[in-house]
Amino acid sequence: MPEYSVSIIWILVNLVILAGLIRLIKQDVRAVPVIFFGFGSLCILFSSLYWIVYALLRPDVRMPFAANEIAEWAIFLSFGASLKAASEPGGRASRREILSVILFIVANVALWIAWSGEWLQDIATGIVFGYYVAALAVRMNRTEAVSLPVRRLWGLVCILLVAGQAATFFTQPPLKDGLDLFCYALLLLTELYLVIKAVGSLSQKKTEVGTDSMSLSFAVHAWGTVFLYMSADAFYTIAGFFVSLGYLLMYLSFRREEGT
């Protein structure tokens, strides 16, 4: 049931977003980032619908491979393309930041493979998710949406998270449960920080430093996705809720950018 609820929330949220985007486009807002974001939203809608139909028609049968995984890759690609199109040309993150992003994604892919055993899907997901996160890192670096000390702290959180999750493979309860809880706390606190920052940026002037609502709202979604892929049971539902909040914040940031 929790998996159903996440998909149902995503469908509802993305229906609202698509209706809003259609209105934006009708008002002659034909910006490329909006169009890419709309396609990402459409992919989420179809993917969630597929997941629900599958769960209804074939309950308790594990999905070996399906088109909704390709839709997930398309979501990351379209969001990455949307971010790239929204950023002015020429911007780039430092080599150290890009390397950190790559290492974090590779570590995540290794963990996904260890959990699911699905090599091909996990590597492909890692590549497109990496593209998305790299585009996000470039934008965040340029707009200084998050200050340097916070970014360093964030890097430390990522290291602790990967180390904590890797350690769960070699430990036994209750230490394993403790490590899991520690990782969930890290994921949740970082997500809450990003949500507060993104919501705050939406009500501030665009020109102020650290108020790039677009990169902050995309960061809510990207970190929510990391959270989602690392979670199970109730935490999966919580992460799913944050991801849907990310979708809404992303849409609101587009409205703010377009000045509607």
Partner 1 sequence: MIYAENILICIAVPLIISLLFIHGEARRFVSAFLLGMMMCLISAYIDGFLELATGMGADDTSVFLAPVMEELLKLMPLLLFIFLFPLEQSFVMPAAAIGAGFATFENCCYILTSGAGNLTYILIRGLAVGVMHIVSILALSIWFMIARRLRIFSLPAVAVGLSIAMIFHALYNLLVSEPGWSTEVGFAMPLVVSVLLYHLYRGLMKKS
Interaction site with partner 1 (CB under 8 A): 30, 32, 35-36, 39-40, 42-43, 46-47, 49-50, 53-54, 56-58, 63-68, 70-71, 73-74, 77-78, 80-81, 85
Minimum CB distance to partner 1 smaller for 77 or for 107: 77
Q: How far is the CB of 131 from partner 1 (least distance, A)?
A: 8
For the CB of residue 50, give the shortest distance to partner 1 in the complex, in Å. Answer: 5
- Least distance to partner 1 from the beta carbon of 135, Å? 10
Within 10 angstroms of residue 55's Cβ, the number of other Cβ atoms is 16
Query: Going by C-beta distance under 8 Å and a sequence separation of 6 or more, which residues neighbour residue 12?
Result: none
Nearer to partner 1, 71 or 158 (CB): 71
In angstroms, give the least distance from the CB of 56 to partner 1.
8
C-beta of 128: minimal distance to partner 1 in Å?
8
Nearer to partner 1, 39 or 223 (CB): 39
Query: What H or E segment, with its residue span, contains residue 23?
Result: helix 2-26
Nearest to 245 by CA among 227, 211, 220, 222: 220
Question: Distance between alpha carbon 45 and the CA centroid of its chain, in Å?
Answer: 15
Q: Considering the complex, state which of residue 131 and residue 235 has its C-beta at the smaller distance from partner 1.
A: 131
Closest CA to 15 of 34, 42, 40: 42
How many alpha carbons fall within 13 Å on the CB side of residue 58?
7
